[in-house]
Structure 1
Amino acid sequence: MEPRPKQIEAAAAAADTALHGDVLDAIVSRVSPLDLLPASRVSKAWRTAVLSSPRRPPPWFILHHLGRRQVAAAFDPLSRAWRSLPCAPSYPSHRQGPQTQQVSSYMLSPGGGTRLCVLSVSALALATDPFGASWRELKPPRYSRTDPVVAVVGTRVVVAGGASDLEDGENAVEMFDGGASGAWVSCEPMPEAFRWSESISSAVVGRRLYVLEKQSPFTLSWFDVDSRRWGPARGVRVPDPTVRHAAIGFANGRLLLGGAGGIGTGFGWRAESVRVWAVDEESLQVEEEVGSMPRAMVEELVGDGGWGLSSLGFLSEGRFAYVYNPSYPKDFFLCELEEGGGCRWESVPRPACMEERPTHRVVVGCCQVGVEDLMMGKDRIV
């Protein structure tokens, strides 16, 4: 015999009495948001605990395939499972075809993490949720750009680099301040050291956007959104002289640099190590080593299909960072920065969708996913 509604209410009330306050918060902090979604419907007390919990679970890793048939998947670290997003992101209505837009990701503050963005000749659209279900549309920047750095710093949207040299503005920086002018304003251009940069890594820390040239020799600088000016551009002296590829992120309250070192020269170079260092936000100098990826994982990162490692993917949020090979986006690794120092590494199960579509362009991101996000996209997640 199925329980009656009154019996269910009585059971929920009893649970509320037995589990409340810190006990309920402790339970919530250890459960995946996917499992908390049905728990939030048990009673008002459970719903309040689920939605108001101060917990900071590991960020999800999200893949978007940009082939003719777009597919997306998300990895939930707490359940250690990939979840299919059967519907492609709901791109803004100004889209007219794959040739008219650029889909990438943008940095988000506070806390780091990334979300989808779409740049076209008619608009810049920023996803306002982790899965691309809702968007904020802005007028396009003045300069047409290819793969620029896009970041939200506080209430301001910053677009840097990527402009055509035909427009004499390849280092141009523009900022949209929704709380003030409500329009794009020109800022000091990127430092000259980034004029010919083909690959830039970025991180948002406080009121600054940090950018790093990802290939050796490495140059690091920062842009202040309040003064609209750049700080000094300085060469980064990595303690390991064999590091050829690097990227930056912000995790556990510190600016971090991940670097891939190896042996050989030219096309014969092969990565043999991946290490993470802390970086001083003012001097831009590398400080102590935070952790090192196990050798077996480095070999998986490089790949067995002859791809090698031509760049290092490094995405971070909270106390966690994901490391991956942009040229071989099948194997991903999660790094947890421990409170007492050091890192704990784990391999992410290989997503089935990557086996099916290994050649399509992929946009990746990582961000916190809460129960409220799942409520918004409950019909999109399997």
Structure 2
Amino acid sequence: MENSSLTVSEPFRSGSRLQLLFKPEAEADGTDPFLLKESEAANDRSPGWQKGFAPLTVSVIRAHTPFTCAVVLEVEIVHSSPKMSLPDRFILKLNDRRFGYRHSFVRKPSEWNSDREAPFVDAVRMCLDPRRSTAIPHYFDDFPGPHEAVEWRTLDRQPWMAELYTWKLKYQQYLAEILAYRCLQTLQGASIPRLHGTVRLPILCGSDFLHPAVDFVNGFAVSLIEGTPMNEVQVGRDLTKARAEEVSQRVLDLVRTIQRHRCLHNDIRLPNIILRNWPRQVDPVLIDFGAADIEQPHEPVMVYPGCGSDEVRETRSMLADPEYGGWHAPSPFSQRVNEKHAAYMGFFRVNDRIESVPEHIRDLQYERIPDTDGPDAKKKVLQWRVREGVKTRET
């Protein structure tokens, strides 16, 4: 559920300045991205979460509203260390539990306000077990149980629990996106944005470290893609059918490439595909890997509800759907499949299906079989065949 009143929050309005901590992305050195993710997650949960980060001040140029799973800002540098390899302008993505989609397992999603923060901080402080000086609660299940310092059952269904649950989901999205960028490092700067580094936005200053949910916001910096989302380009008005087909084929090639890296994006939609330097070029760039999943060795990849493992097929169906602009003309069935369908369903249905294809597409994909006209011929013989050299599909 989207909270419209939080589409532009005061800290992120245009012209606002943000005091961040920035850690540049290291050069590829062969380190396993999964091990790197685990070590960084452990660092997030410790008082040394600022290690390796340097101060960075940015000014908000534009807030990409409404905020959904994350706060997405176009920013420019006001002050930074000379060693930071950052462009003057870039995209800052913050997985801030306070803004955007807010999840809840105890009540309907509710808006955040400053009055909620103090009780949440107090609840986290109360749940810290004084007997474990180095153990910092991480996820929901890490807090003390019924027989420890705090009686768990007495805290059931409290608002602060929903706040922690929201943070947990956004933190998981942050880790998923960082991992996806690192596993797709060879595509950065071309087919996907370049990951410049990770950031921390302190939100609880002047106190001892409690928990990453209350002390800081996780985020990262990626390159700004100058272009237009595909959902803002209309086929037939802004570009021809032929050029739209060219774009769709490049999108499908990109999804195939990502799949070869054993990655599922899990949220391929037209708004998440940017046409770089449109209308001069038609280079698609895929963004927003917050729902991505990477297959680990000896471990099957997780498929999110509503998403399939064959994203190429799903993307092809989306691009061909008239509701999404009709970017793609699906490849025809092979002639062998057409003949098989005709034998099973009847010649009329196969002929009718081919004739329902838009004429400008049908003329490119099919040709009429000679001597197949006449009374009731449509019910008795196959009247069309696939042109030689046309790419076909079997399913």
Quickly name the TM-score band, shorter chain normalised: under 0.3
- Between Structure 1 and Structure 2, the one with more helix by share is 2
Structure with bigger gyration radius:
2
State TM-score, norm by structure 1: 0.23
Could you say which structure has the greater relative contact order, defined with CA pairs below 8 angstroms and 6 or more residues apart? 1
- Between Structure 1 and Structure 2, the one with more strand by share is 1
State TM-score, norm by structure 2: 0.22
